[in-house]
């Protein structure tokens, strides 16, 4: 029932935004739809924690990891909807955008949420591929939202690279379908049917298929060296869209990779897929760490941090054992902390009208609350106690060192580089003299609420996991570590 509610409410919200002529009505509809979707996602997670996986009608079936990601989509989506209202109002006040641009934004925003929810709830791999491709189509116009040459370039780069990657992922999906001799009478090849027929697949074909899937969907995840679209897209999109891209969309693409990993492991063994995840994870962490040392744009800095963190998640799934548990927890923490940082980056942009680090000085004087939260988010995302990412990094490192000492030491060295590079840039922004003509205070105090709540949730979950969420994580570890 919950998937139907989520799909219906977001579809109706997008249609309503198209038809409504009142800005306040469009804002209320979008915020209300996001709130209903979040409540439905909580109900869905509760259902799946009791019965795993939970099947809903013909097209939907949600497993434990899918329920966790749906919950994250709902939480970050609601925060982004609330933040978007006041962020776009501030830009309208400055004369940057007008009513028609805002209406377009909320239409695409609701369609983006719809596509992400659909991707993690649908039971058919082809429909999942269509949903993930739809996220590309719905967000490409949001990346080019400001119609600047650099934004248009980033949008085209995003569209071409991701569509090409997903085409490779589609080819890999079709190779997995060669194992199926019967669809069970309804013509729909589900994940369960693929899993039941996995042993019919030639091990060599399974390995080739997984390579295509990993490169294809890995492009959407932002794995290096297919990551080149990500910093451009995240730096040019409006702050709430950057938050959704980094916080949840990357996890959805990785979720697709993991579902195909299970099929590959059933016929070719775990060593092949895990080895590839370790390689892509390490390469992503190292490249992100090196570039962050010299990055000159704070939104791109956050984007490279996302590449690093997705590399950590891939490394955790690759080394197995406690690394899988840590990887799932890391997905949760990163999905809460990184959107908060992008929201705060949006506050800084509204105040300074620049994303260049060289132009940002004295944030702690000009925006004391945003600056304090940004520093907290920095410490959280780089793995400083008491935030949970510290523990997930320790678990991933311990698992990596236990299976491959060399890989573990490389990861540890890269983590140190990330902290040094990030810290150097953040300190330069936070301190120093603010522009003399700049007033002190937030653009709008309500812009503080979403990042504050997300960081508080990340901190709370670092010490306590609700029973249903703990059960979902336990189920996911059992399923994805086999």
Tell me, letter by letter, the H, E, C secondary structure of 213-269. Answer: HHHHHHHHHCCCCCCCHHHHHHHHCCHHHHHHHHHHHHHHHHHHHHHHHHHHHHHHC
Q: Quick one: how far is CA 274 from the chain centroid? A: 21
396 with 323: CB under 8 angstroms?
Answer: yes
Least confident stretch, 207-216, 290-299, 361-370, 473-482: 473-482
Q: What is the pLDDT of residues 110-120, one digit of tens each?
A: 999 999 999 99
Rounded average pLDDT over 365-379: 95
| Strands of 17-136, DSSP E | 54-56, 60-62
* Residue 184 scores a pLDDT above 60: no
Say whether pLDDT at 187 is over 70.
Answer: no
CB contact at 8 A, 30 and 123:
no
C-alpha to C-alpha distance for 134 and 234, rounded to whole angstroms? 18
Backbone angles phi, psi at 61, to 5 degrees: -155, 125
pLDDT at 54 over 80: no
Q: Are 122 and 128 in contact (CB under 8 A)?
A: yes
Give the residue numbers spanning the domain of 141: 2-480
Confidence of residue 148 (pLDDT cuts 50, 70, 90): confident
Helices vs strands, H then E, count in the chain: 20, 2
Distance of CA 78 to the CA centre of its chain: 14
pLDDT at 253 over 90: yes
Helical (H) or strand (E) element with 69: helix 64-93
Tokens in use for 105?
Answer: 């934004």
- Is residue 224 pLDDT above 80, yes or no? yes
Is the confidence at residue 285, as pLDDT, over 90?
yes
Distance CA 27, CA 35 (A): 12
Model confidence band, residue 61 (pLDDT cutoffs 50, 70, 90): confident
Per-residue model confidence as pLDDT tens digits over 327-348: 999 999 999 999 999 999 999 9
Mean pLDDT calculated for residue range 203-217? 95
Contact call for residues 237 and 139 (beta carbons, < 8 A): yes
Work out the pLDDT band at 52, boundaries 50, 70, 90. Answer: low
Does residue 447 have a pLDDT over 70? Answer: yes
**pLDDT reading at 430 higher than 70:** yes
How many other CB atoms are there within 10 angstroms of residue 353's CB atom?
A: 10
Which percentage of the chain shows pLDDT scores above 90?
A: 80
Terminal Cα distance for the chain, rounded: 30
Q: How far apart are CA 195 and CA 306, in angstroms?
A: 31
Q: How many domains does the chain have?
A: 1
Confidence of residue 1 (pLDDT cuts 50, 70, 90): confident
pLDDT value for 5:
93
pLDDT in tens, 151-164: 899 999 999 999 99
Output the pLDDT for position 442: 87
């Amino acid at each position: 029932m919950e998937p139907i509610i989520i799909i219906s409410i977001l579809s109706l919200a997008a249609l309503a935004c198209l038809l409504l002529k009142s800005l306040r009505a469009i804002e209320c509809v979008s915020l209300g739809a996001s709130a209903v979707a979040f409540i439905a996602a909580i109900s869905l997670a509760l259902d799946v924690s009791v019965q795993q996986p939970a099947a809903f009608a013909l097209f939907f079936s949600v497993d434990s990891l899918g329920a966790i990601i749906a919950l994250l989509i709902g939480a970050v989506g609601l925060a982004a909807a609330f933040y978007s209202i006041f962020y776009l109002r501030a830009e309208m006040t400055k004369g940057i955008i007008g009513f028609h641009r805002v209406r377009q934004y909320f239409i695409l925003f609701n369609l983006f949420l719809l596509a992400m929810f659909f991707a993690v709830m649908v039971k058919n791999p082809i429909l999942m591929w269509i949903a993930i491709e739809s996220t590309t189509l719905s967000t490409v116009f949001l990346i080019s939202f400001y119609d600047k040459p650099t934004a248009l370039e980033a949008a085209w780069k995003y569209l071409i690279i991701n569509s090409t990657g997903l085409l490779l992922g589609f080819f890999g999906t079709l190779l997995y379908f060669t194992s199926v001799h019967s669809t069970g009478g309804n013509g729909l090849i589900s994940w369960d049917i693929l899993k039941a027929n996995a042993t019919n697949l030639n091990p060599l074909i399974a390995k080739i298929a997984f390579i295509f899937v990993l490169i294809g969907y890995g492009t959407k995840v932002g794995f290096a060296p297919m990551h080149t679209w990500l910093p451009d897209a995240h730096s040019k999109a409006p702050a709430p869209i950057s938050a959704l891209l980094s916080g949840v969309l990357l996890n959805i693409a990785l979720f697709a990779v993991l579902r195909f990993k299970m099929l590959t492991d059933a016929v070719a063994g775990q060593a092949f897929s895990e080895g590839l995840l370790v390689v892509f994870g390490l390469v992503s962490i190292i490249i992100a760490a090196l570039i962050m040392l010299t990055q000159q744009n704070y939104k791109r800095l956050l984007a490279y941090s996302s590449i690093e963190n997705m590399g950590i998640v891939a490394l955790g799934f690759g080394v197995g054992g406690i690394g899988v548990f840590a990887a799932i927890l890391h997905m949760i923490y990163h999905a809460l902390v990184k959107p908060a940082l992008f929201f705060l980056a949006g506050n800084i942009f509204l105040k300074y009208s620049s994303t260049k680090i060289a132009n940002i000085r004295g944030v702690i004087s000009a925006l004391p609350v945003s600056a304090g939260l940004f520093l907290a988010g920095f410490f959280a995302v780089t793995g400083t106690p008491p935030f949970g990412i510290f523990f997930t990094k320790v678990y991933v490192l311990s698992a990596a060192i236990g299976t491959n000492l060399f890989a573990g030491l490389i990861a540890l060295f890269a983590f140190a580089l990330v902290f040094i590079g990030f810290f150097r840039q953040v300190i330069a922004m936070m301190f120093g003299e603010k522009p003399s003509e700049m007033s002190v205070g937030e653009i709008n105090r309500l812009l503080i609420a979403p990042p504050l709540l997300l960081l508080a949730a990340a901190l709370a979950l670092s010490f306590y996991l609700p029973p249903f969420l703990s059960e979902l994580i336990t189920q996911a570890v059992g399923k994805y570590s086999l």
